[in-house]
Amino acid sequence: MEKTLPPIPAKRYFTIGEVGDLCGVKPHVLRYWEQEFTQLRPMKRRGNRRYYQHHEVLMIRRIRDLLYDQGFTITGARNKMQELLQSERDKKRNGEVMLDGVEVLEVDDADLEDFEDSQGAEQAEDGALQLFQVRRELFEIRELLA
């Protein structure tokens, strides 16, 4: 049942129908999964309409993969999701960057000294400042995603 899923648009909230289309499952399945997976808590507005955020769409895709592609039972998928979420919490607690698909480069003072040797002093300061700003922006993005 290996079906490629469409990319997730850059929106803040998704209706249950949109999430169903994005994840390849029907809305009644999503409502059932809410009961089985306590981590899945879409916002409900008037008329009990559900609105999902980006991270919840990713979670639903992960659940779908566990159930449909990897053959987990509901109980097994629930346990696996708890393991994955605990692992992410541990990484966050340890200060590790959790950006999927992004390679994190650690820069130490020796690397900056090498950079300074190959550049002029002013250029090195500008480069270090740019690296610092990029790093700060990445941490802000990580906080938004968490």
Q: What is the pTM of this model?
A: 0.62
Residues 5 and 68 in one domain: yes
In the three-class reduction of DSSP (H, G, I as helix; E, B as strand; rest coil), residue 116 is classed as: helix
CATH number at residue 1: 1.10.1660.10
Assess whether 30 and 74 both reside in one domain.
yes
Q: What is the DSSP letter of 66?
A: I
Kindly report the three-state secondary structure assignment for every residue of 4-49. CCCCCCCCCCEEHHHHHHHHCCCHHHHHHHHHHCCCCCCEEEHHHE
Q: Are residues 33 and 56 in the same domain?
A: yes
Token look-up 């980006």 returns 54
Q: Tell whether 66 and 90 lie within a shared domain.
A: yes
Residues 72, 132 share a domain: no
The reply to whether 62 and 106 lie within a common domain is no
Query: Per residue in 105-145, pLDDT tens?
Result: 455 555 545 544 544 555 556 667 777 788 888 877 877 77
* Boundaries of domain holding 110: 97-146
Residues 35 and 69 in one domain: yes
**CB within 8 A of 4, min separation 6: which ones?**
none
24 plus 70 within the same structural domain: yes
- Cβ-in-10-Å burial (0-12, 13-18, 19+) of 65 comes to middle
For the stretch 42-85, pLDDT in tens is 999 988 899 999 999 999 999 999 999 999 999 999 999 999 88
- Residue 52 near residue 41 (C-beta atoms within 8 A): no
Cβ neighbours of residue 26 closer than 8 Å, sequence gap 6 or more: 20
Beta bridge partners of 44: 50
